């Protein structure tokens, strides 16, 4: 379990002369489950987008983003990838990105397109094997009974579980989930986090999740990487991310954002006391 899945070196990104990421360095090994945390605007989504080549870093000869054995970008230049290479990373969005008019089953099968011969993908002709695979994935997220239903009839939590099933049939070895629970009620949020944890533990898929609710990070992840104003602020075991460190991380960001309703609410007052 010591294979490097993600290696980011000297990553900086400037938007309109405003530095959004500054000299970010870290490594994530295969099978890890990492929470990427930090106040709103600290650069979490921008960092995630760099990992799949959706955003290009500043030109710098030492900057490198290396994922699953290949360079995504180097020195501020994107490196092209084959369809199959791109399938190895799954991306889960806050807003689910499902085709609402299509069935749950078809939405899951979409995850298969990049792995199919191009002609068959264009025709959308899925084989029995692929359908069985999609059904198995739906079963794992507890939605096999809804396979024939239109996606836009589902609740937010169910939609996010469909998105996870789609990443499963895509055979994504690395799953990047950007605020996957931000639009969900606490119960659905727990279900989604539980599923992500399970597929990490059972399949060994590496998972990176951005979260602005630190209690979920504490409850479901082992390691935290924290960004503050685009810089790496903390990288280590989540258990060692003390309330005092969190207080400093979210300084000026408002504690309300920190502690959203969860199973074990922590009162901001307690946090103040711990930090003081
Ligand atoms: N495409 C863009 N153009 C200009 N500024 C951007 C763009 N994307 C993000 N930013 C800025 O970068 C900063 C970090 O944004 P983001 O990565 O979305 O933070 P987070 O996900 O931690 O909330 C914010 O100040 C945001 O306004
Ligand atoms: Mg974000």
Has residue 121 been placed in a domain? yes
Ligand 2 center–CA 121 separation, angstroms: 31
Ligand 2 center–CA 181 separation, angstroms: 12
Q: What is the 3-state secondary structure (H, E, C) of 162-225?
A: HHHHHHHHCCCCEEEEECCCCCCCHHHHHHHHHHHHHHHHHHCCEEEEECCCHHHHHHHCCEEE
Has residue 37 been placed in a domain? yes
Q: Any residues with Cβ below 6 Å from ligand 1, and which?
A: 15-16, 20, 38, 40-46
Looking at residue 1, what is its pLDDT?
47
- Reported as a single tens digit per residue, the pLDDT across 217-263 is 999 999 999 999 999 999 999 999 999 999 999 986 554 444 443 44
Question: CATH number of the domain that 10 lies in?
Answer: 3.40.50.300
Counting ligands in written order, the one closest to the CA of 225 is: 1
Has residue 270 been placed in a domain? no
Contact 12, 23 (CB under 8 A): yes
Phi, psi of 210 (to 5 degrees): -85, 135
Looking at residue 202, what is its pLDDT?
97
Looking at residue 192, what is its pLDDT?
98
Counting ligand 1 atoms within 8 A of each CB, the residue from 21, 35, 46, 224 with the most, and so the one to mutate, is 46
Ligand 1 center–CA 37 separation, angstroms: 14
Ligand 2 center–CA 225 separation, angstroms: 14
- Residue located nearest, by CA, to atom 18 of ligand 1: 45
Looking at residue 252, what is its pLDDT?
65
Ligand 1 center–CA 82 separation, angstroms: 28
The total number of structural domains in the chain stands at 1
Strands 174-178 and 18-29: unpaired
Has residue 264 been placed in a domain? no
> Residue 260, exposed/middle/buried by CB under 10 A (0-12, 13-18, 19+)?
middle
Has residue 115 been placed in a domain? yes
Alpha carbon 253 to chain centroid, angstroms: 22
Has residue 256 been placed in a domain? no
Q: Which residues of the chain have pLDDT under 50?
A: 1, 255-276
Looking at residue 2, what is its pLDDT?
62
Phi, psi of 85 (to 5 degrees): -60, -45
Counting ligand 1 atoms within 8 A of each CB, the residue from 12, 19, 41, 52 with the most, and so the one to mutate, is 41
Looking at residue 255, what is its pLDDT?
47
Has residue 273 been placed in a domain? no
Residue 16 alpha carbon, nearest atom of ligand 1? 4
Looking at residue 213, what is its pLDDT?
87
- Residue located nearest, by CA, to atom 24 of ligand 1: 41
Strands 77-78 and 33-37: unpaired
Looking at residue 251, what is its pLDDT?
83
Ligand 1 center–CA 230 separation, angstroms: 10
- Residue located nearest, by CA, to atom 6 of ligand 1: 15
Counting ligand 1 atoms within 8 A of each CB, the residue from 18, 43, 233 with the most, and so the one to mutate, is 43
Looking at residue 104, what is its pLDDT?
98
Looking at residue 236, what is its pLDDT?
97
Ligand 1 center–CA 105 separation, angstroms: 34
Neighbours of 204 (CB within 10 A): 12
List C-alpha distances in Å: 189 to 26, 64, 153, 185: 27, 33, 18, 6
Has residue 14 been placed in a domain? yes
Range(s) of the domain holding residue 115: 4-250
Instruction: Give me the residues near ligand 2 (ion), CB cutoff below 5 Å.
Output: 44-45
Q: What is the 3-state secondary structure (H, E, C) of the chain?
A: CCCEEEEEEEEEEEECCEEEEEEEEEEEECCCEEEEECCCCCCHHHHHHHHCCCCCCCCCCCCEEEECCEEEEECCEECCCCHHHHHCEEEECCCCCCCCCCEHHHHHHHHHHHHCCHHHHHHCCCCHHHHHHHHHHHHHCCCHHHCCCEHHHCCHHHHHHHHHHHHHHCCCCEEEEECCCCCCCHHHHHHHHHHHHHHHHHHCCEEEEECCCHHHHHHHCCEEEEEECCEEEEEEEHHHCCHHHHHHHCCCCCHHHHCCCCCCCCCHHHHHHHHC
Structure tokens at 253: 């960001």
């Amino acid at each position: 379990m010591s294979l490097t899945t993600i290696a980011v070196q000297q990553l900086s990104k400037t938007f309109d002369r405003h530095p959004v990421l500054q000299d970010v360095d870290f490594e994530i090994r295969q099978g890890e489950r990492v929470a990427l945390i930090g106040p709103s605007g600290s650069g979490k989504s921008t960092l995630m987008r760099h990992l799949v080549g959706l955003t290009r870093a500043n030109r710098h000869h030492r900057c490198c983003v290396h994922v699953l054995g290949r360079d995504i970008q180097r020195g501020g230049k994107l490196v092209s990838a084959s369809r199959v290479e791109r399938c190895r990373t799954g991306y889960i969005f806050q807003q689910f990105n499902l085709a609402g008019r299509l069935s749950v089953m078809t939405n899951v099968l979409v995850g298969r397109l990049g792995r199919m011969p191009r002609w068959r993908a264009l025709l959308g002709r899925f084989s029995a094997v692929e359908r069985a695979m999609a059904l198995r994935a739906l079963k794992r997220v507890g939605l096999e009974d809804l396979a024939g239903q239109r996606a836009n009839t589902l609740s937010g939590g169910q939609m996010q579980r469909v998105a996870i099933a789609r990443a499963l049939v895509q055979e994504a070895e690395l799953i990047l989930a950007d605020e996957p629970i931000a639009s969900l009620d606490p119960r659905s949020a727990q279900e989604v986090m539980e599923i992500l944890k399970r597929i990490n533990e059972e399949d060994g898929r590496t998972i990176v999740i951005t979260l602005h609710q630190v209690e979920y990070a504490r409850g479901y992840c082992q390691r935290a990487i924290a960004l503050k104003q685009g810089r790496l602020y903390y990288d280590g075991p989540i258990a060692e991310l003390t309330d005092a460190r969190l207080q400093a991380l979210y300084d000026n960001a408002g504690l309300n954002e920190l502690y959203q309703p969860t199973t074990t609410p922590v009162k901001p007052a307690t946090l103040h006391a711990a930090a003081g």
